[in-house]
Structure 1
Amino acid sequence: MMIKRLFLLFYLLLLVTIILFIPKPAQAFSCTSAGVSAGGAGTFNIPVNVTLTRSGDGFIITDLAQYTTCDGITGPSFYDALRIYDMSISPLLMAKGYSGFIIADTIQMNAPIGISCVWPNTVCGNLGNITSPLKVKIGMRSTSLVSQGITIPQGTEIASISVQQRSVNTWGWNKIWKFVLASPLIIPNYTCNAAMPNSVTTVTLPPVDAWTLRNGGGGRYSGAKKTFNIILDCTPETLVSVTYSGSTMSGKDDVLVNTTPGNDNVGIQVFYGSNALTFNGPDTPFIASALATQTLSYDAYYYYRDNNGGVRGGLVTASALFTFNYK
């Protein structure tokens, strides 16, 4: 009887040992993300610092390759891989006109993201037994204009990606990376203040002899001009548009009419750079991304409409309204 009990005990110990040392296939794959094991299902919070830009190319908020590395057997019979199946960004950012995208290796995909391989490559291919970074960048871009700023508190989740793991040729082990603000994020109220130096709003051209103006030929008279500046103090990257309004000479929407009687053939023409301003037109994009301080320089000239009309001494006056819109 003693021999039978010892044999039974030995058999049970052997069975337990065999069970304990059978490897679990799912454990063949492992990842480490920001110092935390990410080899199975789970949720991982990653703090990020975000610098906003309104560039059409967007901006990267985090690069997982900098802190996430995976190890696996990508060939038979494990076929270890990762694929992304969802991405989202904060509703607070969406409400301010931002959308998300990812760059997997070198391939960019805009949200909403379809199912796409991201490790060991973008086709979940067989690269053997490898250890390599998770080459996924999370980005955002501005797609519409901000009408009112907001401060998003520290700790707010601003984006997330959902990823599935493949091991033993089976998809599962869902992982979620959540990206949370390491510090408050300020989305500014994009605007500008416009002013003329020393609050001067009257531009006085040098006097010109009536005979000289009449005999100089029709059109802009370049012998006399006055340069004036408008200073814009803006939230950087503000989008600025402009409209120019004023009474114009008949048939000439780029010449301000003389409002002092006596010289109906003389007006004022204003240039920005090499282009004459057109008045009473639609709101026109002017500055795509304003600097913090920007000087706009304009030149005012006399304009003579040469239609055999006379020119006599006297005042030439005109007025215009410059309206800058900020977004």
Structure 2
Amino acid sequence: MSVDSTMTVDYEDSSSIPEKLSLLVFIAAIIIGNICVFITYFVRADGKHWSHIFVLGMAFIDLFIGSFVLPMRFISAYGDSLTSKLCTALTIGESCALASVIYTITYMVYTRLYDLNQRFTRIQRRYLILLILTTWIAIFLFYGIPLMINSSTYLLVITSSSSNITSYCTTYTTSIYHPLWMVYTEIGLIYSIPLLFNFIGLLFLIHKLCQSRPRGLDAIERKHYVEQKKMTWHVVVLSLTFICLWLPWITIRILIIFYNTKQIQRALQIAYYVLILKSVLFPILYAATNSSFRGSFAMYKHKRITINNRVWTVNEHFH
């Protein structure tokens, strides 16, 4: 399944103005939204819950996608051809980022299940940070070492049938040419198994949400129950959104390994945009389902109104 650098791959590209503008809008929205996530959780004093570790992890990945992966894709598709080193760095970075998101979501789901079943055991945030960092390192080694050692194997001379432009990594399908052992490892460990565990854990969380509230709770216990239920909804909404947006891309991504046609390439490119939509929507979902995020903006709005009122009062006094 590996190829040499002289191989020519025929594909259908698109350089339409709407597609260019859509990619630029994605880049701007991802960067702005995820910077807001970082500002929120570093400013808020109560933003130290274990779930925030996963939120910050995904925000970091999304920020990397918006500030490096997508700009490089834009330059490669609509500008000059990337150099061999940049193309290799793009392939490694993109593959690692997408795989890391899958594992981070799965960790969040099962940490929430553990938190619900072990109510009196406090989850140590440092263990979660260590888990995430270890996973990122393992994913980087899985993709990075083969790509760096055999970088010439992954650099394809790609000729578009519509524009006759030859480039190195113009489409989103150029990273599928792995050795056979790497293909099946990627299908199993990177996509299928984490996604399956994510779906199973999501079913358990939904089952928890469907349970009726215990009777005889005092005011403090009721408040704790409501907070726990909101946190569960927060994880469920994020996980459901992730599955809905990523499942089409993962399915086509596996299919194109065995049936690489122009129609499937186009479907994969469309599914890639749907997948990237996750990086745009997640900051909005954080704001909609997490009280700490909303509280920061409410506090900012209150301070802004207070300052404006004081300025107005001072101006009126001097007038």
Shorter-chain TM-score: which interval? under 0.3
Query: Structure 1 length normalisation: TM-score?
Result: 0.17
Q: Which structure: greater helix fraction? A: 2
Considering Cα pairs closer than 8 Å and 6+ residues apart, tell me whether 1 or 2 has the greater RCO.
Answer: 2
TM-score, reference length from structure 2: 0.18
Larger Rg: 1
